Amino acid sequence: MIAFERVTKRFGSWTAVNDVSLTVGEGEFLVLIGSSGSGKSTLLRMMNRLIVPESGSIRVEGTDIAALRPEELRRRMGYVIQSVGLFPHWTVERNIATVPVLLGWPKARVRDRVTELLELLNLDPRRFRSAYPHQLSGGQQQRVGVARALAAEPRVLLMDEPFSALDPITRGALQGELAAIHRDTGTTVVFVTHDMDEALTLADRIAVMDHGRLVQTATPLEILTHPAGDVVRDLVGREDWGLKRLSVETVGQRARPEPTIPGAPFPSAAPLHRALSEMVARGTDRLPVMDEGGRPAGVLHLADLVRGPATSP
Ligand code: ADP
Ligand code: MG
């Protein structure tokens, strides 16, 4: 879907992105992580030509984006930033409809799409369609920002620390909604964060940046168990390493294929750290597991959590 080949961007004598090659697969959820100033936003903004590189090539669906008109490219890519950037004098509906209106969609289609998106982002259309941005909480505004980016069904969603300014509860809710949207629509997502927990929760693959360079691109499990150096190790941190390790694997991956046992069944798609918490809460060392259809899917044993395949580096 997106391919960077030896891309470099300088601001004066400062090299913000240094010789980066990276591919993002169709439907992939890629998280760019790194400390402040490492070049994440610059890399992201080169994908929709808000920034043009000095050297190297960037292709989107096989086409070198230097050959595309920036407006055309941006309509194919949703873009969400931390400070939402909603138009204050426009209603929620008008804000969400920005790109469909530009594209000349018929009124009825725009209206239906806005309703669909408000519902998708858990905003009651009757209450929010005609509201103005200042009447919304930060979390609601950010939901509208995500809805606006998705409005014209972009092939790619670019997100630059979209949830960083939100409180932890709202942030968790929006992470869950974004993960569901990604699963249901198959949209390719490139998501910037400086928070490793957020990266581990959301990513199919994590790309770690340091001083403009890409230092590791790997799955969450690989990042945790085989960090490519001190920069990655520091981003992961030592604190709660074991819980992080449990957060990147699901209950279904460790459940034993045994006849089910009494008790409320636990979803096989849930991350293992949640199952551990549930065991503590229930005062038990075994949980019956069910699949997405609610059918029995074996039993999870506490012993299998601590006897996982990979240990701390
Ligand atoms: P990040 O998003 O990882 O925090 P950025 O990509 O925003 O980092 O910035 C990378 C580096 O490039 C920083 O040192 C920043 O100061 C510099 N930089 C970014 N944009 C500009 C600009 N327009 N002019 C000059 N320097 C810039
Ligand atoms: Mg940034």
Exposure class string for 100-122: b at 16+ Cβ within 10 A, else e: beeeebeeeebbebbeebbebbe
37 & 103 share domain: yes
Of all protein residues, the one whose alpha carbon is nearest to atom 22 of ligand 1 is: 11
Q: Which two tokens stand for residue 110?
A: 């725009």
Domain match, 152 and 254 both: no
Cross-strand pairs, 81: 160
Picking from 261, 257, 260, 240, the residue whose alpha carbon sits closest to that of residue 196 is 240
Ligand 1 atom at minimum distance from 212 CA: 10
For residue 19, the SS3 value is strand
pLDDT of residue 224 exceeding 60, the answer is: yes
Give pLDDT, residue 307. Answer: 78
Q: Percent of the chain at pLDDT above 70?
A: 98
Asked if 256 and 304 count as a contact pair (C-beta separation under 8 A), the reply is yes
Higher pLDDT, 33 or 72: 33
What CA–CA distances, in Å, run from 136 to 88, 139, 141, 267, 310? Answer: 11, 8, 6, 34, 45
The proportion of the chain whose per-residue pLDDT surpasses 90, expressed as a percent, equals 76
If one residue of 11, 36, 190 were mutated to test the ligand 1 pocket, choosing by the most ligand atoms within 8 A of its CB, it would be 11
pLDDT value of residue 250: 93
- Give tens-digit pLDDT for 39-83: 999 999 999 999 999 999 999 999 999 988 888 888 889 888 887
Closest ligand 1 atom to Cα of 160:
2
Amino acid at 146: V
Protein residue with least CA distance to atom 24, ligand 1: 11
| Residue 289 pLDDT exceeds 80 | yes
Q: Over the stretch 128-138, which tens digit does the pLDDT of each residue have?
A: 999 999 999 88
| 81, amino acid identity | I
- Does one domain contain both 143 and 276? no
Of 246, 252, 254, 231, residue with least CA distance to 297: 252
Q: What is the pLDDT of residues 169-220, one digit of tens each?
A: 888 988 998 998 999 889 999 999 999 999 999 999 999 999 999 999 999 9
The yes-or-no verdict on residue 298 having pLDDT over 90 is yes
pLDDT band at 309 (very low <50, low <70, confident <90, very high): low
Which atom of ligand 1 is nearest the CA belonging to 34?
3
CB-CB contact of 110 with 97 (8 Å): yes
Tell me which DSSP letter residue 154 carries.
Answer: -
Is 6 among the domain residues?
A: yes
Q: How confident is the model at residue 313 (pLDDT cuts 50, 70, 90)?
A: low
In which residue are the tokens 């929760």 written? Answer: 201
User: Ligand 1, from 7, 14, 190: best to mutate by most atoms within 8 Å of Cβ?
Assistant: 14
Last residue of a domain, one of 184, 219, 240: 240
Task: Give the largest CA-CA distance in the chain.
Answer: 66
Mean pLDDT for the chain?
Answer: 92
313 in a structural domain: no
Report the pLDDT value the prediction gives residue 311, as an integer from 0 to 100.
Answer: 53
Residue 312 tokens read as 């701390």
Tokens of 192: 């910037």
| Alpha-carbon dihedral sign for residues 152, 156, 157, 160 | negative
Same domain, 273 and 222: no
Ligand nearest to the CA of 10: 1
Alpha-carbon distance of 227 to 245, in angstroms, equals: 13
**Calpha distance 238→234 (Å, rounded):** 8
Strand pairing of 205-210 and 29-33?
parallel
Domain co-membership, 255 together with 233: no
| Cα dihedral 283→288→292→296 (10° resolution) | -160
Domain shared by 254 and 106, yes or no: no
Average pLDDT over residues 217-238: 94
Ligand 1 centroid from CA 232, angstroms:
20
State the pLDDT at residue 73.
86
Do both 173 and 285 map to the same domain? no
Do 26 and 136 lie in one domain? The reply is: yes
Q: Look at residue 308 in the predicted model and tell me its pLDDT.
A: 64
CA 304 to ligand 2 centroid distance, Å:
39
Q: How far is the CA of 38 from the centre of ligand 1 (A)?
A: 8
- Per-residue pLDDT reduced to its tens digit, 73-93: 888 898 888 876 889 999 999
- Identify the domain containing residue 298 by its residue range: 249-305
Query: Domain check: are 260 and 236 in the same one?
Result: no
State the total domains in the chain.
Answer: 2
HSE of 226, CA atoms in CB hemisphere, 13 A: 8
Q: Which tokens sit at 313?
A: 């580096």
Rounded to the nearest whole angstrom, what is the distance from the C-alpha of residue 40 to the centroid of ligand 1?
8
Note the pLDDT of residue 138. Answer: 87
**Amino acid identity for residue 224 in this structure:** L
Is residue 312 over pLDDT 60? no
Claim to verify: residue 192 and residue 282 sit in the same structural domain: no
pLDDT of residue 191: 97
* Cα 39 to middle of ligand 1, angstroms: 6
